[in-house]
Amino acid sequence: MSPTINRRRAAAMLTAALLLPLAACGDGKAAKATDNSAGAGTAAAEAELTVLAAASLTDVFKTAGAAYEKANPGTEVAFSFAGSQELAAQVKQGAPADALVTADTRTMDGLAADTGPAIVIAKNRLVIATGKGNPHKVGALKDLADSKLKVVLAAPEVPVGRYSKKILDAQNLDVKPVSQEPNVRAVLSKVELGEADAGLVYRTDTRGAAGKVDAVEIPDLQNAIAEYPAATLKQSENAEAAAAFVKWLSGPEAQKILQEAGFQQP
Same domain for 12 and 129, yes or no, is: no
CATH number (domain holding residue 152): 3.40.190.10
Same domain for 215 and 141, yes or no, is: yes
Same domain for 95 and 83, yes or no, is: yes
Same domain for 146 and 196, yes or no, is: yes
Same domain for 147 and 204, yes or no, is: yes
Cα 178 from Cα 139, distance rounded (Å): 20
Cα 170 from Cα 98, distance rounded (Å): 38
Same domain for 246 and 161, yes or no, is: no
| Residue 266 domain-assigned (yes or no) | no
| Residue 104 domain-assigned (yes or no) | yes
Q: pLDDT tens digits for the chain (266 residues)?
A: 444 334 334 444 433 343 333 333 333 333 322 333 333 333 333 489 999 999 999 999 999 999 999 999 999 999 999 999 999 999 999 999 999 999 999 999 999 999 999 999 999 999 999 999 999 999 999 999 999 999 999 999 999 999 999 999 999 999 999 999 999 999 999 999 999 999 999 999 999 888 899 999 999 999 999 999 999 999 999 999 999 999 999 999 999 999 999 999 99
pTM, full prediction: 0.80
The count of structural domains within the chain is 3
Q: Which domain holds residue 10?
A: 1-36
Give exposure, 122-146, as e/b (b: 16+ Cβ within 10 Å).
bebbbbbbbbeebeeebeebebbee
Start-end of H helices in 182-225:
184-192, 203-208
Same domain for 128 and 220, yes or no, is: yes
| Residue 186 domain-assigned (yes or no) | yes
| Residue 8 domain-assigned (yes or no) | yes
| Residue 17 domain-assigned (yes or no) | yes
| Residue 265 domain-assigned (yes or no) | no
Same domain for 15 and 71, yes or no, is: no
Return the amino acid letter for 151. V
Same domain for 149 and 20, yes or no, is: no
Contact in structure between 231 and 117 (CB atoms under 8 Å): yes
Task: Classify the C-alpha dihedral 16-18-23-28 as positive or negative.
Answer: positive
Angle, helix 58-71 to helix 239-249, in steps of 10 degrees: 120
